[in-house]
Amino acid sequence: MSLNFFETQRLGNIELIYFLNEKHASAQTWEFFTELIELIENIEKDDTIYSTIFAGKGNHFSAGLDFNDFLSHFGHLIGNDSKELYETIKIMQKGMNLMFGGKKIYIAAVSGSCIGSGLDFISACDLRFCSQDAIFSLKETQLGIAADLGSLQRLPFIIGFNNTRMLAFSSKNIDAKTAKQINLVNDVFDGKEQLISEVLKIVQSFTKNPTSALFATKQFINNLIKEIVNTQLDSIAQFNAKFLNIRDMQNNLPKIFKKEQ
């Protein structure tokens, strides 16, 4: 399997996976979404991998959707009630859904910014940890998007409905301390190096347990909400295929990049 967006490193039964595109704060390109599907399908099939830890290769976990890449590929579909846009959103949802519905244990180790679809991604993980410099936000509402890749569907079950509303309605950043307070992350570590080494120890302690029980435990927990999450992800894909407004994105993207919040 040849991957351009991801760099993988095997540590026993654990795969440490870095997001590349670090020059653009690991913003998620179309390549990210399509390669993620292949990557997760392979991990689920590989009996030697029990768990994965995801981290950003550079200073940020992920700046969310790479808007230059997305608009150049799909901008012409927005606002046209397009079946192709619906199918595109479904492909973007698929890799994260495979993680959520799969049996392996997926862990996010966040340093720097984790924005938009970066937050969608970590909400599909089984556990989240971060370093002190971490920042989380859902910028979609500010950009005229009802977040359609999993945050609205999964976060209420992780941080509760009210915290999800605050994040989504405000599009404001929260820091590592707040992320811990609202249970978005399980723990906070000093810097990125310490984060990765501590998370590795935590995951190693899980993967010593009999894997049949570990994998079944993960799946039974996620089964509680899988059906509702899948139904709602499909509804929001249909909604956005009809109602996304490219002018809202074009007007507000420059403000975000100038950090006028």
Ligand X SMILES: C/C=C/C(=O)SCCNC(=O)CCNC(=O)[C@H](O)C(C)(C)COP(=O)(O)OP(=O)(O)OC[C@H]1O[C@@H](n2cnc3c(N)ncnc32)[C@H](O)[C@@H]1OP(=O)(O)O
Two tokens at 228? 């509702």
Residue 98 as a binder of ligand X (CB under 6 A): the answer is no
Which of 117, 131, 153, 163 is close enough to bind ligand X by CB under 6 A?
117
Residues 6+ apart with CB under 8 A from 69: 27, 29, 30
Q: Any contact of residue 56 with ligand X (CB under 6 A)?
A: no
What minimum distance in Å lies between the beta carbon of 134 and ligand X? Answer: 11
Site residues (CB under 6 A) for ligand X, limited to 187-246:
none
Cα(188)–Cα(136) distance, integer angstroms: 13
Provide the H-helix boundaries in the chain: 30-45, 67-74, 83-101, 117-123, 151-159, 161-170, 176-181, 192-206, 211-243, 246-257
Sheet holding 127-131, edge to edge: 6-11, 14-19, 51-56, 105-110, 127-131, 187-189
Minimum CB distance to ligand X smaller for 151 or for 222: 151
Residue numbers 120-159 binding ligand X by CB under 6 A:
139-140, 143, 145, 149
Residue 233 C-beta: closest distance to ligand X, Å: 12
- The least distance separating ligand X from the CB of residue 177, rounded to whole angstroms, comes to 18
CA angle 237, 169, 114 (to 5 degrees): 75
Cα dist from 256 to 26, 73, 79, 133, 143, whole Å: 16, 21, 22, 19, 9
Q: Which is nearer to ligand X, 43 or 109 (CB)?
A: 109
Q: Which single residue is written with the structure tokens 């950003």?
A: 56
Window 14-53: contact mask with ligand X (x via CB under 6 A):
----------xx-x--------------------------
From 39-47, 64-72, 176-184, 200-208, span contacting ligand X (CB under 6 A): 64-72
Residue from the set 67, 136, 189, 206 that interacts with ligand X by CB under 6 A: 67
* Contact footprint for ligand X (CB under 6 A): 24-25, 27, 59-60, 63-68, 113, 115-117, 139-140, 143, 145, 149, 256-257
